[in-house]
Amino acid sequence: MRDTSRPLPFARAAGGVFDLTLDGLVWSRRTFWMAALLGLPVVFGVLYRMVLASRLPPQLQPFDLYGTIVVFYYLRNLVPLAALFYASALVADEVEAKTLTYLLTRPVTRGAILVGKFAAYLVTVLCVTLPAVVLTFFIVLTGGGSHSVSAAVPDLFRDLAVLAAGLLVYGALFTLLGVALRRPILPGLLFLFVWELLANLPGYLPRLTVTAYLRSLVTHRPAEEGIGELFGQVLPASLCLEMLAGMTVVFLGAAIWIFSTREYVFDQ
Partner 1 sequence: MSEAAIEFRRASRWYGQVIALNDVTTTISPGVTGLLGPNGAGKSTLLKLAAGQLAPSQGEVTILGQAAWGSPEIFHRVGLCPEPDAFWDGLTGRQFLLALLRLTGYDEAERRARADQALALVDLEDAAGRKVGGYSKGMRQRLKLAQALAHEPEVLLLDEPLSGMDPVSRRRVMDLVKKLGREGKTVVVSSHILHEIESMTRRVLLIHNGRILAAGDSRELRDLMDEHPHTVSLRARDPRALARSVVSSPHVLSLAFGSEGEWVTVQTARPDEFYSALPEAAIEAGVLEMYSPDEDLESVFKYLVAR
Partner 2 sequence: MTRSRGVVLGAASLLTVGAGLALGAIYLSPARAAVGPLPAVGLSLPAESRFVVGIDVRRFVASPLYRRYSDKMPVRPQAFAELQERTGLDPERDIDQVVIAGQGPTRSDQGVVLVLGRFDRYKLSRAIETEKRGVTWKDYQGTTVYLFGEAANRRSGAAAFLDDHTIVLGGRPLVESVIASHASGEGNLRSNAKVVALLEQVRPGSTFWMVGDQSLMDQMPRSVPAPGAPMSGGPAPMQSLQLPGLKSMIVTGDLDPVMAVEATGEAADVTAAKNLADVVRGFVALAALQAGQKPELKELASSISVSTEANQVRVNARVPYEVLDALQPKPRNRTEGAEPEAQK
Question: For the window 134-153, what string marks contact with partner 2 as x by the rule CB under 8 A?
Answer: xx-xx-------xx-xxx-x
C-alpha atoms less than 13 angstroms from C-alpha of 240 in its C-beta half-sphere = 19
Residue 166 near residue 80 (C-beta atoms within 8 A): yes
Nearer to partner 2, 77 or 233 (CB): 233
**Residue 39 binds to partner 2 (criterion: CB under 8 A):** no
Confirm or reject binding of residue 64 to partner 2 (CB under 8 A): yes
- Which option in partner 1, partner 2, none does residue 33 bind, with CB closer than 5 to 8 A by kind? none
Cβ 133 to partner 1, closest distance in Å? Answer: 29
What DSSP state is assigned to residue 198?
Answer: G
Partner whose footprint covers residue 117, from partner 1, partner 2, none (CB < 5 to 8 Å by kind): none
Which one, of 188, 189, 128, 138, lies nearest residue 163 by Cα?
128
For residues 109 and 10, is the Cβ–Cβ distance under 8 A?
yes
DSSP secondary structure string for all residues of 78-145: IHHHHHHHHHTHHHHHHHHHT-HHHHHTSSS-HHHHHHHHHHHHHHHHHHHHHHHHHHHHHHHHGGG-
Pick from partner 2, partner 1, none: which does 50 bind, CB < 5 to 8 A by kind?
none
Q: Which residues 43-102 are close enough to bind partner 1 by CB under 8 A?
A: 97-99, 101-102
Straight-line distance from the first to the last Cα atom of the chain, in angstroms, rounded to the nearest whole number = 37
> Which of partner 2, partner 1, none interacts with 98 (beta carbon under 5 to 8 A by kind)?
partner 1
Exactly one of 43, 51, 56, 104 binds partner 1 (CB under 8 A); that residue is 104
**Counting contacts by CB under 8 A, is residue 105 touching partner 2?**
no
Compute the Cα dihedral for 154, 212, 197, 182 and give only its sign: positive
Among 9, 107, 202, 246, binds partner 2 (CB under 8 A): 202
CB burial of 2-35 (b: ≥16 within 10 Å; e: otherwise) equals: eeeeebbeeeebbbbbbebbbebbeeeebbeebb
Cβ within 8 Å of residue 79, ≥6 positions away? 129, 163, 166, 167, 170
* 35-54 residues near partner 1, rule: CB under 8 A: none
| For partner 2, the closer CB: 58 or 261 | 58
Site residues, partner 2 (CB under 8 A) = 19, 22-23, 25-27, 57-59, 64, 67, 123-124, 126-128, 130-131, 134-135, 137-138, 146-147, 149-151, 153-154, 156-157, 202-203, 219-223, 225, 229-230, 232, 234, 237
Site residues, partner 1 (CB under 8 A) = 2, 4-8, 12-13, 16-17, 19-20, 23-24, 27, 97-99, 101-110, 263-268
